[in-house]
Amino acid sequence: MSALVVYETSYGSTAAVARAVAEGIARHLLVRVVPVGDPGADQATEDTLVVIGGPTHAFGMSRAATRREAQERHDELPTARPGIRDWIGLLPADRPDRLYATFDTRVAGARHLPGSAARAAERALRHGGHHIVVRGESFYVVGTDGPLLPDEEVRARNWGEHLARTVTALWARP
């Protein structure tokens, strides 16, 4: 039993949350944390817990155009890195043993607005016939390019630990 945390980030906040979630998971399970687009983020791994995180863009998961917009805001040259939407679309359907969970980052001042990449990713996973183990979670940034609110990394670590405890309890059932 092992876990994979796959994340997408434009400015680094989701990467920091992904590392904190993995630290929490590591209290109970072997875990790797890998950005979408890296070879280690292959969809066909043996991992039985897969956690997927991305920034909320335009009330949902990023698209190529929103990732480009994020890069242009920082005067970066555009790269063709995929997002979690693309990654989820390539998941194998024949893995009933696998459990999934999602998280996102969002702007704290827009908490009251609808739209979360974690929720959108959950819907896409369910649509693909995949099993969600706990409700997706949002972690908050002060502004578009960060930083995370104080204590969000602690909350992410605790959420990761809760997730790992939940799946290990489920797997221990006869």
Ligand X SMILES: Cc1cc2nc3c(=O)[nH]c(=O)nc-3n(C[C@H](O)[C@H](O)[C@H](O)COP(=O)(O)O)c2cc1C
Residues that bind ligand X (CB under 6 A): 9-14, 55-59, 66, 69-70, 105-107, 110, 115, 141, 144, 146
Q: What minimum distance in Å lies between the beta carbon of 67 and ligand X?
A: 8
Q: Which is nearer to ligand X, 30 or 154 (CB)?
A: 154
Cα gap 43→39, rounded to integer Å? 10
Q: Find the shortest distance in angstroms from Cβ 86 to ligand X.
A: 16
- Taking the least distance from each CB to ligand X, the nearer of 47 and 104 is 104
Distance CA 7, CA 14 (A): 7
Phi, psi at residue 60, to the nearest 5°? -165, -155
Q: Residue 25 and residue 22: Cα distance in Å, rounded? A: 5
Integer angstrom CA distances of residue 22 from 69, 71, 75, 154: 28, 26, 31, 12
Is the CB of 78 or the CB of 92 nearer to ligand X?
Answer: 78
In the complex, what is the shortest distance from the CB of residue 171 to ligand X, in angstroms, rounded to a whole number? 30
Closest separation between CB of residue 124 and ligand X, Å?
17
